[in-house]
Amino acid sequence: MLESAISLTFGLLTVAWVLNLYRLVIGPSLPDRVLALDTMYINSIALIVVYGIQVDSKLYFEAAMLIALIGFVSTVAVAKYITRGDIIE
């Protein structure tokens, strides 16, 4: 039961990822691509969490947490780069 639900979810998440990559590739603008990357990061949190459930292990949790905590920094950096060029000023 849970196995199939998890498999299904993996499928959903992977499709989501593919869509993200699609947006990343076609853009058209830089913010679009960054947004797509950001979304990929967030989807991978889900991916890792679900993987943890699948293999019944909590050892991967920190990876998901780390993405949640600092994954956005790259997005902020690119956004700041777009607006200001200089990210640390």
User: In angstroms, what is the minimal distance from the CB of 3 to other proteins?
Assistant: 9
Q: Rounded CA gap, 14 and 50, in Å?
A: 12
By the rule CB under 5 A, 88 interacts with Na ion: yes
Q: Rounded CA gap, 41 and 25, in Å?
A: 16
User: In angstroms, what is the minimal distance from the CB of 37 to other proteins?
Assistant: 5
Instruction: Please check whether residue 23 is in contact with residue 32, taking contact to mean a CB–CB distance below 8 angstroms.
Output: yes
> Please, which of residues 48-87 interact with Na ion by CB under 5 A?
86
Nearer to Na ion, 56 or 86 (CB): 86
> Please, which of residues 24-83 interact with other proteins by CB under 8 A?
24-25, 29-53, 55-83
Task: Note the Cα 42 to chain centre separation in Å.
Answer: 3
